Amino acid sequence: LVLVSRRGVGAPGARGLAGELEAAGARVWWVACDVSDREGLAKVLAEHAVSAVVHLAGVLDDGVIGAMSPERMAGVLAAKADAAWHLHELTAGVDLSAFVLFSSAAGVLGNAGQANYAAANAFLDALAAHRRGRGLPGVSLAWGLWSAVDGMGGDLSGADLRRMSQVGIEGLTVQRGLELFDTALGLDEPALVPIELNLATLRQNTDHLPEIFRTLSGGGGRPRRESGTRTAGPTLAERLTGLDDDARSVAVLGVVRAEAAMVLGHSGPDAIEPDRAFQELGFDSLTAVEFRNRLNETTGLRLPPTLIFDYPNPDAVTAHVLSELAPDQGGSEQLDEDEQVRRILQSIPIHRLRDAGLMRSLLELGGAGAQGSMDAETGAEVGESIDELDAESLISMALDEFELDGPTGEAGN
């Protein structure tokens, strides 16, 4: 066995592993080499005759998609994709019995914050299929979660593990993983996903499952909701119809707390304090995006990616969601036209009205300009008084005057 890693025998646990393998009858060579270095890898292969390849290397550099620079992409792709391609090309003339690539379920299912890692693993899956198409051995194993706390899985927090468990993904034991490894090598498939799933839990979460999981859970005929789209059943806005203000607030807050609890891996919404800041609750940039996405699906809205930064606690998000849903649920009656105009204009800062050139029109609607053009002194006084008004007072003044004169009167022209 030629075991290659960047630190060789100096890697943590290397000597102990070599001892176990030798006790089982193997001959072991540890070689220090970065497998993404084509020249270094070529030298290793020239010095050691190999009959099979198992490629396990990988690194993580997680982050939201907007933060994925070319450098962050390249670093993750190098260990997975570049190294695999080097092995593919450098063993082209070798009669191999196996060419096994350790991929990840992230490339099949996607995973928040791992766009670069998912792409690198998807490349491995495609390379295995490419080799099979050329009559060469090749299989890519897109592993799910391992229960062991070392390796890449060792960086997962307790919340991460609880969150995965809540959607039906369980950890593989070493024994179970080795059994699946042996099974995979006996199958005639270029790409497989060895993963431990709790099907009962999957069936309880069909709305948030990837397509492949919905089929396994028996929910294959149910279309998955996309962010910002309405569901086939009653929407949240429809469920709120007929409720009074307090009941609507309680219902929406319950949804917000439930989704936050799911994202953070809590057992229920009681762990989410309504007035506590999201950052104090444990949110980061990745969970913030996931939370927003889940709320989009649940509410049918298109909430901003910066949701928890603009509205820093569950109470604030609840108020925002209610305000966005108001045009849909609107109580038992449709708001009259004047009230709709008031609500819209009240949200506009006065300086924006001035910058847009609408101030004079509003003054005329309010009666200040109905008697002709104002002199400089009068205009200055009106300007100062307008600056002192809040949006409600300004809009009320304009609309009330408009109602008195009528839509075809002088002030309305």
- Name the β-bridge partners of 192: 141
Q: Is the pLDDT of residue 256 over 90?
A: yes
Q: Where does the pLDDT of residue 284 fall: very low under 50, low under 70, confident under 90, or very high at 90 and above?
A: confident
| Amino acid letter, 47 | E
Residue 282 half-sphere exposure, CB side, CA atoms within 13 Å? 14
Q: Rg (Cα) of the chain, in Å, rounded? A: 31
- Predicted confidence (pLDDT) at residue 80 exceeds the cutoff of 90: yes
At residue 167, φ and ψ (nearest 5 deg) are: -100, 10
Whole-angstrom Cα distance, residue 333 to residue 242?
9
C-beta separation of 95 from 50 below 8 A: no
Phi, psi of 290 (to 5 degrees): -65, -40
Q: Where are the domains of the chain?
A: 33-153+172-195, 236-329, 337-412
For 283, the 3-state DSSP assignment is: coil
| Among the ranges given (24-33, 117-126, 175-184, 260-269), the one the predictor scored with the smallest mean pLDDT | 260-269
Q: How confident is the model at residue 331 (pLDDT cuts 50, 70, 90)?
A: very low
Q: What's the mean pLDDT in 9-34?
A: 95
Split at pLDDT 50, 70, 90, the class of 362 is confident
- Residues 193-214 have a mean pLDDT of 78
Q: Which amino acid belongs to residue 68? A: M
Kindly report the CA angle at 205 between 204 and 211, in degrees rounded to 5?
Answer: 125
Percent of the chain with pLDDT over 70: 72
pLDDT of residue 3: 96
Mean pLDDT value of segment 145-158: 69
Helix, strand and coil percent figures for the chain, each rounded to 5: 55, 10, 35
Reported as type and span, the H/E element at residue 45 is helix 38-47
- Most confident option among 79-88, 111-120, 373-382: 79-88
In this structure, of 15-24, 68-77, 140-149, 247-256, the range with the lowest mean pLDDT score is: 140-149
CA dist 258 and 267 (Å) reads 9
Separation between Cα atoms, residue 119 and residue 73, nearest integer Å:
9
200 against 145, higher pLDDT: 145
- Report pLDDT for 371: 46
Structure tokens at 162: 């609880």
Strands 196-197 and 191-192 come out as unpaired
Q: Supply the pLDDT for residue 140.
A: 98
Q: And the tokens for 332?
A: 């038992």
Question: What's the mean pLDDT in 326-338?
Answer: 49
Residue 264: per-residue pLDDT: 87
Q: Give DSSP secondary structure letters for 122-187.
A: HHHHHHHHHHHHTT---EEEEE--BSSSSGGGGG--HHHHHHHHHTTEEPBPHHHHHHHHHHHHTS
pLDDT for the residue 8: 93
What totals of helices (H) and strands (E) does the chain contain, helices first? 21, 8
Burial of 149 (0-12, 13-18, 19+ CB in 10 A): exposed
The mean per-residue pLDDT over the stretch 297-311 comes to: 90
Q: CA 215, CA 125: separation in Å to the nearest integer?
A: 21
Q: What percent of the chain has pLDDT over 90?
A: 48
Find the length of the chain.
413
pLDDT digits (tens, 9 = 90+) for 170-199: 899 999 999 999 999 999 999 999 999 888
Write the CATH number of the domain with boundaries 33-153+172-195: 3.40.50.720
At residue 286, the pLDDT reads 77
The dihedral over CA atoms of 122, 123, 129, 132, expressed in degrees to the nearest 10, equals: -150
* 314-329 and 245-264 helices, crossing angle to 10°: 130
The mean of the pLDDT values for the chain is 80
pLDDT tens digit string along 89-101? 999 999 999 999 9
CATH of domain 236-329: 1.10.1200.10
* Distance of alpha carbon 248 from alpha carbon 244, whole angstroms: 6
Which of the 8 DSSP states describes residue 372?
A: S
Mean pLDDT along residues 31-50: 96
